[in-house]
A and B are shown apart, each in its own frame.
Chain A
């Protein structure tokens, strides 16, 4: 199969999307844990910030990251005509 200009564009947009989302993942996971003690100065309703992030915040952000990736990729598939199936 011949590699077209369109495919290259699709590929680079795909890579950019992945890189941005991995960046968010990195901040939420590692940066927050690294600074857990400092961030714990922020107290919401009697409990420290890092507790909320660990207990729920990070999980919700992960699910949103994955949901956004799937949504964008599905849209891009249609836009570049590489969509599979009928749905």
Chain B
């Protein structure tokens, strides 16, 4: 029966994508190639799921692949989990648009891994069983700690899952033009098939396959791109600096300062920091959430429960670091290669965030948009991106489902008395519930800006899960009271701060922007140079309070700016000019300008309509109260503080009694689940 269902899911996903293909980055005549590659990858992963399903009967097999994953395999799977579509496509894109800063952003994600691996992974593997709740329940009150851990896991997974589903739907639509709803349903059905039938084993192998494909594709692209420069690093970098497209992009980014710079200086600037990351306090806040949040991500912690021994856990860490590190060295070439071969203009025209840099480079490397090889390359990269989304979503669904089934149903409701049969059924039913929820949320959130959901997921994981896990493992006095209070305060404060932050939609600002486009801007008089101004206090950098003076960087003197016409007037002027043009190149450019203006006008009108009659955000604010985009700077220390205070104020004899046992086991792994069975 399983085989039929699995085959059915695969056929459904493929057929729906064939039937609803519209326009995208791939030209229509080459679409069949994309679908052939998609079909091949779906076929292989479905076969793996079928194979895994035959070996998945017990709870340990479902949640932890029977602890049979070797170190090397787990290393590849961790790398697969880590290299989500956001990091694979997004970082190559950021590098292609912002140079050095794009790279620093990617390294930031890798930095996070060290803390996870050194501080959290091994002890967690040694004392945990299947979930975050198991780790906390070891020495705290089992029911209380499992309940908060499950709540937090489900919250984090849902935020991250929504971002992945929406991002995936948009990505597939941009790449091959499949309808957004169909893309989301396709991703959902495939992911459910992997998780429900194959459990952790199928999820792990899908990650491994995806990671291998991703690395292969990247190496191939880098060989082709770098080969043009005889595999010389200085040669390649000199080409980047000397490239007029790169210089033009830098000139655009640095604005007025560009007028005094030579072309070489502009090119050199691409390899220096400061083009993308602007507000340092916000960056520190985001950095804290990323570095510490990764260590609290439930789907990543779960990976360490799949290996049989501590040695394998360490080995998997080395492999994962090697693969991820190697991959990021490759993204340098991918991003810069896209910047010189494709150019920032066309990349941001297809997708503002630069997500299309790697696929477009693939198309270029194979011979361009009209060549068969170019489109085959593009199809391959598109299929890898698709597999990436499905695999990461599968891992997240498994994490959320295990929190529901193992922590809440078996641990809390059944008081740990459930037959193995019942536990597996509960796990599968929970997976279906979470999966359907993910599809529903993915469709409901269409067109929403979900970027802040990723940051929010990491912020909650860092403010809620990490303090609880870290202090349970390393602090003797930590107890149930502190853990429960800290997790709740950490999660709630992170969510609340984001609701008050600039990430939300503020109707007044949207309306003002839209009116600027439609009605034009009045002339601005010349300004004199102004020195930098510091904020009146540190708190004023964080919150918009009464009497606060906001900090502002020094401003150079600006010449008088002429008034800008509204969109309607601009269109008339452009059309009049178009009629007088004779050169093909000029006509082309004027047509492009007209199309862009029309698009901006339509968007502004839609925005105005959407915001009609609204003056405040969801939280009843006219403008953000919390000024940072990421709450980590405040919510993470708060989470730690509350765990510490709660533990000091109340005593819990069990937490203290169990310390000695935990102390031995977390570092030696003696009596760890599975270790004795092998």
Contact = CB atoms under 8 A, between A and B. Distances in A.
A30 to B, nearest CB: 9
Interface stretch (B83-91, B99-107, B192-200, B353-361): B99-107
Contacts of B247: none
Nearest to B273: A36
Contact of A22 (B110, B118, B318, B675): B118
Nearest to A17: B118
A31 interface: no
9 contacts: A3-B663, A54-B103, A63-B321, A69-B117, A69-B317, A73-B310, A73-B314, A82-B668, A85-B675
Interface string B110-144: 11011101110010000000000000000000000
Contacts of B100: 51, 54
B398 to A, nearest CB: 25
A32 B287 CA distance: 15
Nearest to B660: A3
Interface in A59-83: 59-60, 62-63, 65-67, 69-70, 73-74, 77, 80, 82-83
- Residue among A14, A40, A48, A54 with max Cβ neighbours from chain B (10 Å): A54
A58 B107 CA distance: 8
Given A25-B114, A85-B309, A85-B312, A54 B104 contact: yes
Contacts of A21: 118
Contacts of A37: 273
B314 A54 contact: no
A46 B70 CA distance: 44
Interface of A: 1, 3, 7, 10-11, 14, 18, 21-22, 25, 29, 33, 36-37, 40, 45-48, 50-51, 54-56, 58-60, 62-63, 65-67, 69-70, 73-74, 77, 80, 82-85, 87
- Residue among A11, A25, A59 with max Cβ neighbours from chain B (10 Å): A59
Contacts of A84: 308-311, 669, 672, 675
- Residue among A11, A21, A58, A66 with max Cβ neighbours from chain B (10 Å): A66
Interface string B642-678: 0000000000000000001101110111111001001
Contact of A55 (B110, B114, B332, B661): B332
Contact of B110 (A18, A33, A59, A67): A59
Given A62-B325, A82-B670, A74 B111 contact: no
Nearest to A85: B309
Contact of A54 (B107, B122, B325): B107
Interface string B329-363: 10010000000000000000000000000000000
Contact of A11 (B237, B322, B667, B671): B667
B118 A18 contact: yes
Contact of A70 (B113, B234, B318, B329): B318
B50 interface: no
Given A7-B663, A22-B119, A33-B104, A67 B271 contact: no
B234 A45 contact: yes
A83 B309 CA distance: 9
B63 interface: no
B316 to A, nearest CB: 9
Given A66-B317, A84-B310, A59 B667 contact: no
Nearest to B277: A33
B311 A62 contact: no
A59 B234 contact: no
B272 interface: yes
B111 A25 contact: yes
A59 B328 contact: yes
A62 B111 contact: yes
Contact of A85 (B273, B311, B328, B667): B311
Contacts of A54: 100, 103-104, 107, 273
A1 B661 contact: yes
A26 B349 CA distance: 38
B245 interface: no
Nearest to B126: A84
Contacts of B107: 29, 54, 58-59
Given A46-B237, A62-B325, A63-B321, 15 more contacts: A3-B660, A25-B118, A47-B234, A48-B271, A48-B272, A51-B100, A59-B325, A59-B328, A69-B314, A69-B317, A70-B314, A70-B318, A74-B311, A80-B668, A87-B311
A82 B110 contact: no
Contacts of B321: 62-63, 66-67
A14 to B, nearest CB: 5
Given A70-B318, A74-B311, A60 B325 contact: yes
Contact of A56 (B273, B315, B322, B329): B329
A35 to B, nearest CB: 11
Contacts of B328: 59
A28 B328 CA distance: 17
B671 A1 contact: yes
A25 B118 CA distance: 11
B318 A66 contact: yes
A1 B312 CA distance: 24
Q: Give the 3 A-B residue pairs with the shortest CB-CB distance, closest first.
A: A70-B314, A82-B668, A84-B309
A65 B325 CA distance: 12
B656 to A, nearest CB: 14
A18 B272 CA distance: 32
A74 B668 CA distance: 11
Contacts of A85: 308-309, 311-312, 675, 678
Contacts of B309: 84-85
Contact of A1 (B104, B118, B669, B670): B670
A18 B311 contact: no
Contacts of B322: 63
Contacts of B111: 25, 29, 58, 62
B663 A11 contact: yes
A51 B117 contact: no
Contacts of A33: 104, 273
Contacts of B238: 46
B272 A51 contact: yes
Nearest to A45: B234
Nearest to A66: B321
A14 B669 CA distance: 13
A65 B114 contact: yes
Contacts of A45: 234
A37 to B, nearest CB: 8
Contacts of B665: 1
A29 B312 CA distance: 27
A29 B321 CA distance: 15
A43 to B, nearest CB: 11
